Amino acid sequence: MKPSSEPIFWMLFGGGGMLSALIGPVLILVTGILVPFGLLLPQDTMSYDRMLAFAQHPLAKLAVLVVISLFMFHGCHRTLHSLHDLGVHTGTGAKVAFYGVATLATLLTAGLLLVIGF
């Protein structure tokens, strides 16, 4: 039997589902609501200097890469399978497109984290 790539994508889906279930709401709350409105948190929470220092830390780089990559793989996997439920017949092309977008986002994130430096 030909080895399937499905378990890999399923694990990325599961990892992203778990991570976003744990920290997805609080991340959206902080970056999308609290900081833009200047609520609750210090005004410099997401200032350029603080964010640059954050993104230069090796552990923070790993965290950023894991969050963006797993969120993308989770979202793309689930959307790909939802298309079937909507009556859209997906084949290899759709698979390549959806997982390709998630892979591209992962590579871009890694590249930007390297450009930002240590």
Partner 1 sequence: MSRYRSTAKTAARTYMQPMAGWWTKNPYFVRYMVREGSALLLTAYALVLLVGLWRLSQGAAAFDAWRAALASPLSVVFHAVGLVMVVYHSYTWFDVMPKTAPDQPIDPKLITGGGIAAAVAVSVLILAALLWGAP
Q: How many whole angstroms separate alpha carbon 10 and alpha carbon 117?
A: 32
Q: Which of 52, 62, 96, 97 binds partner 1 (CB under 8 A)?
A: 52
The site map against partner 1 for 86-105 (x = CB under 8 A) is xx-----------------x
Measuring CA to CA, how many Å separate 37 from each of 28, 31, 44, 50? 13, 10, 12, 18
Q: How many whole angstroms separate alpha carbon 16 and alpha carbon 102?
A: 12
User: By CB under 8 A, is residue 41 in contact with partner 1?
Assistant: yes
The site map against partner 1 for 56-85 (x = CB under 8 A) is --------x--xx--xx-xxxxxx-xx--x
| Nearest distance in Å: CB 104, partner 1 | 10
- The contact set with partner 1 (CB under 8 A) reads 16-18, 20-33, 35-37, 40-42, 45-46, 48, 51-53, 55, 64, 67-68, 71-72, 74-79, 81-82, 85-87, 105, 108-109, 112-113, 115-116
